[in-house]
Homo-oligomer: A and B are copies of this chain.
Amino acid sequence: MTLKKPTIDDVADRAGVARTTVSRVLNGGPNVREEVRQRVLKAVEALNYRVNPQARSLAGGGSRILTLVFASDLESEPNSFYASALELGALRGCLALGYQLLTHHVPQQSPDRRGQILDLIGSHKCQGMILTPPFADDVVLIEEVRRLGCRVVTISPGGAGRDVADGVGIDDEAGGYDIARHLLTLGHRRFAYIGGIEGHLSAARRQDGLSRALREAGLDPDSVELLRGDFTFRSGGILTAQLLDAPCPPTALVCANDDMAAGALSIAHGRGLDVPGDLSITGFDDTPVSAIIWPPLTTVHQPLKEMAHDAVAALVERLSGAAGGLGWHFHNLPHAVVVRESTGSPRPKPA
């Protein structure tokens, strides 16, 4: 326990420069000789100095407000664990870094959705924005937000978004691949995939991973039954019902999130199917629901809180840090397949 935290003046003394210069280095200001910059950075490191966000925000700078934007369909409650976990992570980050957080749920359907988001910037003087899917891949939106002088970091950008902003997420393609490998190893050959809404590129990438795994296994990716849900329990159920009505239903159902998988599970039960005997079902996210249903869901763990936390950190870095320009960076977090009891070997056909 250090009795006293080092201040900017301590760093200045140690580096033999003025407080002003240290501030300049820390905030990526111009007009600092490279040699001096290094010296300051070294002092910062040596003292393990961390700026005091309170003092910084008191002294100057902008509003220090960030906004976390979610797409909410009318159906999907903004109460979902997915949203809560991200907000929790973002909040923790903001608290530590001295920023405020605004959380907004924007109807994904609304034709004016972009306008609604852009308005937030003006009305709250928000300096940075965290975009979740599918907004994370709305390149037009991102450009407009930036034009308004607001920094952007995306969570789980699927591809398009990565070229225009910093992003945080897992390797969705690999996640899809891994879960498919798990299922293939169990002996499954007939797959269905309940994906996400149009434009949700990260869900699309999970499907890409599934396809790759099938291809490697010598199966035709096109044989996968493809459906589009909206990430709600309800849609998972409805689509699964359709699926099971088909003449030759799959033995493995891969869902793009846990909620839809839960919906699928409940429909399967309703039809008297044995899970995983008759149908293996997988989710994605590893939210608490996956452990709270029967059988507990095999799913892909995604570190949602960390993702949002890192997104805030990235935003703050851009905001106070060096070169604003290009050079977008994607911060890749680890994922993991969590095997529970909703998957197993397909039961040999009785017929």
Contact = CB atoms under 8 A, between A and B. Distances in A.
Interface residues of A, number: 35
Contact of A288 (B57, B77, B94): B77
A46 interface: no
A80 interface: yes
Secondary structure class of chain A's binding surface, majority of residues: helix
Contacts of A288: 77, 79-81, 289
Contacts of A91: 88, 91-92, 95
A100 B91 CA distance: 11
Interface string A35-74: 0000000000000000010110110000000000000000
Taking the full assembly, how many copies of this chain does it contain? 2
A266 B293 contact: yes
Interface of A: 1, 52, 54-55, 57-58, 77, 79-81, 84-85, 87-88, 91-92, 94-95, 98, 100-101, 123, 233, 259, 262-263, 266, 269-270, 288-289, 291-294
19 contacts: A1-B123, A52-B58, A58-B58, A77-B288, A77-B291, A79-B288, A81-B84, A84-B84, A84-B85, A84-B88, A88-B88, A88-B91, A91-B92, A94-B95, A233-B291, A262-B292, A269-B294, A292-B292, A293-B293
